[in-house]
A and B are shown apart, each in its own frame.
Chain A
Amino acid sequence: MEQVAGNPWAALAYLIAGMCFILALRGLSSPVSSQRGNRFGMIGMTIAVVTTLVTHVPAADGGGLNSATIAELLAAIGIGAAIGIVTARRIAMTAMPQLVAAFHSLVGLAAVLVAAAAFLNPLAFGIADRVIPMIGQPFAVIHTVSRIEMGLGVAIGAITFSGSVIAFLKLNGNMGGKPILLPGRHLINLGVLAAILVLIVAFTQDQSAWIFWTITILSFAIGFLLIVPIGGADMPVVVSMLNSYSGWAAAAMGFTLHNSAMIITGALVGSSGAILSYIMCRAMNRSFVSVIAGGFGAESGGGGDGVKVDRPWKRGSAEDAAFLMSQAEQVIIVPGYGMAVAQAQHVLREMADKLKAHGVRVKYAIHPVAGRMPGHMNVLLAEANVPYDEVFELEDINSEFAQTDVAFVIGANDVTNPAAKTDRSSPIYGMPVLDVEKAKTVLFIKRSMGGVGYAGVDNDVFYRDNTMMLLADAKKMVEEIVKSLD
């Protein structure tokens, strides 16, 4: 059996594949170069797959090409390709967070399967140093280093799988977004994690099947236990974190197989997910540990309800909103998760077009945690044909609200709450927010006055003199505004 490390041409090809993956991510620095980057990714993957097929499919019994094995492998690829392409074509852009979570779970499960396959047939992977002849089947002894890598690979893969399944169920609405809290969960989690580490150490001493499978089962359990207590609004962090794990799982398997393409990719994906998690945490002013500990938003809707009903607020109609905006010089639209839920992005763009026809300058302001995954709002706006140079990040546009006539908030809440700047007792204190209240008028679309955002806090913006509440479904309200603008 030929080893990956033994063939310099194969090693070189994997290195080139790894470089293509770096270029794929590099391309995403701008929408202009991004499609070229994606093509680099496809080229890299083709190189990696073809190289593996060429070097690892054993010759047929009489020499020559082993067409049966090749056919099996290509059939497996074909089945996957068909499912993948159909899914990618059909999926609605609003369902992107679920899709990404589902894809993460597949990477995790594939990592577990590969680690299990390597455990069952270590000779094929070139990770056994000697074979002990035994009655029945000879026993291949796996390198100690490889056992650690395999143990870590299977553990991270299993956590990625079960964690992503839970994230998928929460994002897809099959499971309530509210955090589910087990008593003593921190102790249980730490205990399970410690048990996994102890078993990985034990695995280096004793290559028993039961240790391998116990590591796998405990890791499935911990992935489940870790994500269940995390609320829906913390999902941007969770999805990024699972993205990171899927990378580390690939890297661990790359160590096992001495494969540079897998190691480079694993490191890229691992750091990418970690950086995205960091950006999301920073945008919520929360520590990574507190997100992972879970439970945020569990007590929402409690204390504040009685107080806020009494405060006066102004209600506006679609006609009022249309009039105010058509007279404005500049309107900044602040979209949030509610826009995605209502699928209001297309009609919103229609409204923006009408306003532009009235000579109004329209911009969009995106908070980093708006939506359920990083960049969620940007994709939805792009889907609705909003030019990306009208869409701005928080730090680039926040100073403009003071010179803006109308801030139009659609489906966002906590990311506009001024309490984050002033109220030290607020759970969202210190979180960077969009300064919508500085605009001359704030138009705030909300279903009803009763509900609160995910943080469970009341928003002072509702009761300000310059705010007009538009109480309706986001899509219906924007449709009516569009009609009034004619």
Chain B
Amino acid sequence: MDFVAILSIFVMACFVGYYVVWSVTPALHTPLMAVTNAISSVIIVGALIAGAAAGSAGSKWLGLLAVVLASVNIFGGFAVTQRMLAMYKKKDRPAAASKH
């Protein structure tokens, strides 16, 4: 891919991001931050490339360390988002109704 093709993807994705994020309900802004955190750890792709490659020991170890850090974020981010989202309940759900 040449630079302009990549730039086009980037610019389009910025527009998509703009409209998608404005449609997120304010009540879910904390889960939004947690999940964006998890997905920005897609940087693990670069870490895996470095960790898998031969040729430079230094590069390999930096890569492996980055894999660990990004994995903390991926698993932690998705798990904590899941935990938060599971708490959002509507009025007529049994959990709330049983209190009356």
Which A residues contact B (CB, under 8 angstroms)?
1, 5, 11, 14, 17-18, 21-22, 24-26, 28-31, 34-35, 37-38, 41-42, 44-45, 48-49, 52-53, 56-58, 69, 72-73, 76-81, 83-85, 87-89, 91, 93, 96, 99-100, 103-104, 106-107, 109-111, 113-114, 116-118, 120-121, 123-125, 145, 239-240, 243, 246-247, 249-251, 253-273, 275-276, 279, 353, 356-357, 366, 368, 373-376, 378-379, 382-383, 385, 387-391, 393
Contacts and interface: CB of A to CB of B under 8 A. Distances in A.
B80 A88 contact: yes
A368 B26 contact: yes
Interface in B69-100: 69-91, 93, 95-96, 99-100
23 contacts: A5-B1, A28-B24, A52-B45, A76-B64, A80-B74, A83-B76, A96-B34, A103-B76, A110-B69, A113-B65, A114-B43, A114-B62, A117-B63, A124-B56, A145-B3, A249-B43, A255-B10, A262-B42, A268-B16, A269-B37, A279-B29, A375-B29, A388-B88
A467 B91 CA distance: 31
Contacts of B20: 22, 25-26, 268
Given A28-B32, A110-B66, 10 more contacts: A80-B72, A80-B75, A84-B73, A84-B74, A88-B83, A121-B55, A124-B53, A243-B36, A271-B18, A375-B31
A265 B40 contact: yes
Nearest to A14: B45
B83 A107 contact: no
Contact of A121 (B29, B31, B56): B56
Interface in B36-62: 36-56, 58-60, 62
B3 to A, nearest CB: 6
B91 A114 contact: no
Nearest to A379: B30
Contact of A56 (B14, B52, B89): B52
Contacts of A388: 27, 88-90
Contacts of B11: 267
Nearest to B74: A45
Contacts of B54: 58, 124
Contacts of A275: 18, 21-22
Given A28-B31, A104-B37, A117-B50, A264 B13 contact: yes
Nearest to B84: A379
A276 B32 contact: yes
Contacts of A116: 59, 62
A89 B3 CA distance: 42
A35 B64 CA distance: 31
Would you list the 10 A-B pairs with minimal beta carbon distance, nearest first? Answer: A80-B71, A84-B76, A375-B29, A124-B53, A267-B13, A271-B17, A84-B75, A117-B50, A121-B59, A88-B79
B40 A378 contact: no
B62 A107 contact: no
Interface of B: 1, 3, 6, 9-11, 13-14, 16-18, 20-56, 58-60, 62-91, 93, 95-96, 99-100
Given A120-B56, A374-B33, A56 B48 contact: yes
Contacts of A21: 39, 42
A22 B13 CA distance: 9
A73 B52 contact: yes
Contacts of B13: 18, 22, 263-264, 266-268
A246 B46 contact: no
Given A22-B20, A106-B72, A124 B80 contact: no
Contacts of B50: 113-114, 117-118, 121, 124-125
Contacts of A373: 29-30, 33
Contacts of B27: 31, 366, 375, 378, 382, 388, 391, 393
Given A30-B25, A45-B39, A72 B66 contact: no
A81 to B, nearest CB: 4
B76 to A, nearest CB: 3
Given A100-B37, A273-B36, A41 B28 contact: no
B9 A58 contact: no
B68 A80 contact: yes
Contact of B79 (A72, A84, A269): A84
A76 B62 contact: no
A387 B92 CA distance: 8
B74 to A, nearest CB: 6
B71 A268 contact: no
A85 B74 CA distance: 9
B71 A84 contact: yes
A120 B62 contact: yes
A271 B69 contact: no
Contact of A357 (B25, B87, B100): B100
Contact of B59 (A117, A385, A387): A117
A35 B85 contact: yes
Contact of A375 (B16, B30, B62, B69): B30
